[in-house]
A and B are shown apart, each in its own frame.
Chain A
Amino acid sequence: MTDQRPDPDRLLAALERESEQAARGRLKIFFGACAGVGKTYAMLGAARQRLAEGADVLIGVVETHGRSETAALLEGLPLLPRREVAYRGRMLAEFDLDAALARKPALIVVDELAHTNIEGSRHRKRWQDVEELLAAGIDVWTALNVQHLESLNDVVGSITGIRVHETVPDQIYERADEVSLIDLPPEELQSRLKAGKVYLGDAAEWAADNFFRTGNLIALRELALRRTADRVDAQMREYRADRAIDRVWQTRDRLIVCIGPGEGGETLVRNAARMANHTQAEWIAVSVETPDMAGESESHRGRRRNALTLAASLGAEVCSLSAVNPADALVRFAINRNAGKLVLGRARRGAWQRLLHPSLLDRLALIEHELEIVVVGLPHHENRKEAPERRLPVNWRGYVWAIAICAATTAFAALLLSVFDLANVVMVFLLAVVGVALRFGRGPGALAACLSVASFDFFFVPPRLTFTVNDTQYVFTFVLMLVVALVIGQLAAKLKFEAVTAAEREHRSAQLAELSRALSAALSTEQIVDVALQNLAGIFQARVSILLPDADAKVRPAHAPDGDFVDLAVAQWVFEHEQAAGRGTATLPAAKARYLPLRAPMRVRGVLGLLPGHGLVLDEPAITRQLETCISQIAQALERVHYVEVAQEALVSMESERLRNSLLAAVSHDLRTPLTGLVGMADTLAARPSRPPEEQEMILGMRDTAHRLTAQVSNLLDMARLQTGRIEVKRDWCAIEEVIETASRQLSVQLASHALETRIEPDLPLCEFDPVLIERVLVNLLDNAIKYTPASSRIRISAEQQGRMLQVSVDDDGPGLPTGPTERLFAKFERGDAESAQPGVGLGLAICRAIVSAHGGQIEAHNRANGGAGFRFSLPLGEPPESTNLEKDA
């Protein structure tokens, strides 16, 4: 039953979405069919309730439209002051995004999601403000009418006859965490309108006659209800997918919409968006560039670009293909991307046009494929005169040359005629036509063809010097000649064009190859920046700046000159939001330059600023594609160098670590070896019998001093290790009683003069610590107890479990600690009594504290109630490993 398992990809996507949403604020949309249904009213009512429940609610912006009921609800709610903006001599109040972000409430109410901000605001649209609020983790409540949804925009427009220009991408609606439909039957709405509750004064009348007709209202209401139902449906599907209720998993169907240069591209895109939405399909908007398109007018390009931008904003993946035969390319692309459906637009075309330029649909019919093709009828605006198009400059020189070459050919042919037959002379004209077409293109080629036929008729066909022809056979010759000349000429011109395009493509890929070669040779960030600046400026004929983040994640131009056009605030925004901004984008479009994030696989590595020179259209698909490729190459190069640097740093620190360790080891070795000699020789001397007692005492004193010296050297070395944080805690599951045993055994000689008592709680669990280090702590504490108490004092070591900690104490009944804060004892080079005769430099307790802290425990000192000093340290017990396989004790 493999089909019972949830689709892992889908689960993963859902998980990703969830984790992303956990950090994001939640978006709730109060959704309605049209103005006046009471969205704002409902939203404010709910906000009041939340405020009463103690939530941190802030009213970001609310339009009351003079409705008194709504205004009444606003009372008592905390209002965010609006930002006053001067616009065309008037002061307008706008939503203050920065103040809202700074105030950071838990929930903010921002009315009218579809609102367009005043020019000069950070974002063009309010929904972008809302996105930023959500990204900052603030919950947002907002209101939206169905006609403002991008994909329904033209449907609503055609129903009501009124187009709204303020639209919101469908994704915003789709991704909202909650949508609350505010519904009001049309009759009730109309009565509200009549009562002046929706619009005031003249506006109310106008609205009642136009927009608020019963038919409109019913249609809008149906749209809103359906849209909400779709959403519920999608949630249901998601739920089923989560729980693996479906038995059969449909493969997600991909849909491709092909954008042409004609009008109605946006209608086509909206249609495709709706189709994709209904079937929950991914969709791709494709534009195919053909060689013919080089001569395309600016308005065609603009339309194509707009349609693609719209598609992207509606959630499509946008692609542009480059091919001679668009039908072929589309079919191949569809197969590659596993798409089953192709959506095309169809405009009305004249019969002549159909014959000369077979449509994409006709061409697709010629290819064998299994695609489902959906044709969308596009409106044809005959009455609308197209704006005068900026045509490519006509190549007058070519035409002049065509005339001149024809004249020269005529003269040459006249010479030839004395030798050759007329039929051969015709070939000379054909040659001339081919030459002109090759050199100057189609127009001059066609002119040359016509001129050749004319001059052949005029000068060479009897009767000469007239266009009349005696022999009707020549008419046939002319027709043939004209057709052949035209066809050859056009073919030649096309060949030439393709060669030019190929050369251009070649040039582009050569530039890219050069860039990637230079980047791969770059070894440092500076080199990458240099390479990138040089190459990009050349490729795009633009001024380029690269901004890299500093330690505080603030971007700065990474090079001295040429960065003067950069607006750091915009670049910083781009870096933080990982989105393009500036000229030609939806964010801060007023900026002079465009800013693009240098996005590498791991994270954004910097920002590219591009100030286009004259004649560069950044939205040209070919340019965009090339720019994207360049950017990703630069970003990857930056990331590569970054990781190289990280690795180098690690290597350097490893190297210095090794050096430090070997130095410490050497110091330790070099000090211990002579000390061993000293101790050994003192022992040997002491063992010799028959020596005066004072000499014997001196020898033993020598030995003890050598031992103490060793202890101090050990302490200093240990402190050096601990100090640099290089202490390596080799944790193991140990029994504390073993450590107590070895520590007291180490000090057995010194302890002989004292009475040691150990009290260990029975059945103490194992505890995870480094036994060598903890032994050191105990030895230091015991040693202190021995040093600072008179002989025959009692010393007690006890270990017990306190909650989830293991507590070990070393107590004595000596004179106790000096008065004052006991905390000081654990500082370095600190001793209880500065002038004490006891040897030592006061590192012992500092080492104890460092070791215990490294284990996540605590150490403290105190004076015991009935006299004497007490030291206590605790270690976290942790979860001991399970001891399976331990035999049962029979």
Chain B
Amino acid sequence: MSSRVLIIEDDPVIRRFVRSSLETEGCEVFEADCAGRGLIEAGTRQPELLILDLGLPDRDGLEVIRDVRSWSRIPIIVLSARTQESEKVAALDAGADDYLVKPFGVPELLARVRAQVRRQASMAVGEQAVFGFGDVTVDMIRRRVTRAGEEVHLTPIEYRLLTALIRGHGRVLTHRQLMTDAWGPGYAERTHYLRIYMKQLREKLEQSPAQPAHLLTETGVGYRLLS
């Protein structure tokens, strides 16, 4: 994992340990202590991953996300000190890919960073025709889903939901994003549909639906497909 990572965070202690743990992983790390500085760094250093604190002294983290998203698709991991889910949802809807709630441990951080880097690498290869997770294989061209070699029958909405999750695999997808992808914009508020269909998908695709390994819930925020 040798990527260029930019961290925008006002607390020097956090910057320091994030830097040192990422550097041991072989990353090249750039630091910025405020949003203004961070945007300049993002523009000049061309990082492959952005770690962004939402509580910056000069500007709202959400603005930084929107700003970066206007010209780049690099993965953004958000650090949040607040526990309110609404803040995470807003950051994710604005274009962030994942979030970490403070305080977080180094293993957690590294896991998230690796997942994003991997996703980025697979995106660079281009749209995959076949996607697999666990013992499930999804053939996007033939619209066929198999589990341990057996074909699994999915309804059209289940299939649309699954492909929406696959397109954003590794990312946290908010309820709104998933509803819009699978049902269309008019259904964004009817999240109970989503819950019913996620349950059906898990029952069809997960080994132990009560303790899913791939189709994970992010309470109050959305879902994530972990491959």
Contact = CB atoms under 8 A, between A and B. Distances in A.
Chain B binds chain A: yes
Interface of A: 665, 668-669, 672-681, 683-684, 687, 703, 706-707, 710, 714, 730, 732-735, 737-742, 744-745, 758, 760, 766, 770-772, 775, 880-881, 883, 885-887, 889-890
Given A679-B104, A681-B17, A732 B191 contact: yes
Given A684-B106, A735-B195, A883-B193, A742 B85 contact: no
Given A674-B13, A680-B103, A887 B21 contact: no
B87 to A, nearest CB: 10
Contacts of A739: 217, 219
B21 to A, nearest CB: 5
A703 B17 CA distance: 14
B149 interface: no
B103 A738 contact: no
Contacts of A881: 190, 192
A672 B102 contact: yes
B105 interface: yes
Contacts of A735: 195, 198-199
Contacts of A742: 216-219
Given A766-B192, A772-B220, A887 B157 contact: yes
A673 B14 contact: yes
Given A669-B55, A687-B106, 17 more contacts: A673-B55, A675-B102, A676-B102, A677-B11, A680-B103, A681-B16, A683-B17, A683-B107, A684-B17, A706-B103, A737-B209, A738-B195, A738-B219, A742-B219, A758-B211, A770-B220, A889-B200
B126 interface: no
B193 to A, nearest CB: 7
Nearest to A742: B219
A687 B24 contact: yes
B2 interface: no
Given A741-B217, A758-B210, A886-B193, A679 B83 contact: no
Contacts of A673: 11, 14, 55, 81, 102
A292 to B, nearest CB: 73
B150 to A, nearest CB: 18
B55 to A, nearest CB: 6
A375 B216 CA distance: 90
A714 B103 CA distance: 11
Contact of B103 (A672, A758, A885, A887): A672
A734 B17 contact: no
B49 to A, nearest CB: 17
Interface string B76-98: 00010111010000000000000
A677 B210 contact: no
Contacts of A744: 211
B62 to A, nearest CB: 15
The 6 A-B residue pairs whose C-beta atoms are closest, nearest first, are A677-B13, A683-B106, A680-B17, A733-B192, A676-B103, A738-B217
B125 interface: no
A674 B103 CA distance: 8
A741 B211 contact: yes
Contacts of A707: 103
B103 A771 contact: no
B72 interface: no
A680 B18 contact: yes
Contact of B156 (A680, A766, A887): A887
Contacts of B207: none
A116 to B, nearest CB: 68
A677 B195 contact: no
A711 to B, nearest CB: 10
B122 interface: no
Interface string B99-121: 00011111101000000000000
A741 B223 CA distance: 12
A734 B195 contact: yes
Contacts of B18: 680
Contacts of B193: 883, 885-886
Interface in B161-201: 190-193, 195-196, 198-200
A669 B82 contact: yes
A741 B212 contact: yes
Nearest to A717: B83
12 contacts: A672-B102, A673-B11, A673-B55, A677-B11, A679-B105, A680-B18, A703-B105, A741-B210, A758-B211, A766-B192, A881-B192, A883-B192
Contacts of B105: 679-680, 683, 703
Contacts of A678: 103
B128 interface: no
A701 to B, nearest CB: 14
A676 B83 contact: no
A714 B210 contact: no
The CB with the most chain A CB atoms within 10 A, among B193, B196, B210, B219, is that of B219
Contact of A733 (B102, B191, B199): B191
The CB with the most chain A CB atoms within 10 A, among B85, B104, B211, is that of B211
A675 B82 CA distance: 13
Contacts of B82: 665, 668-669
B46 interface: no
Contact of A766 (B20, B109, B195, B216): B195
Given A740-B210, A741-B211, A766-B192, A676 B14 contact: yes
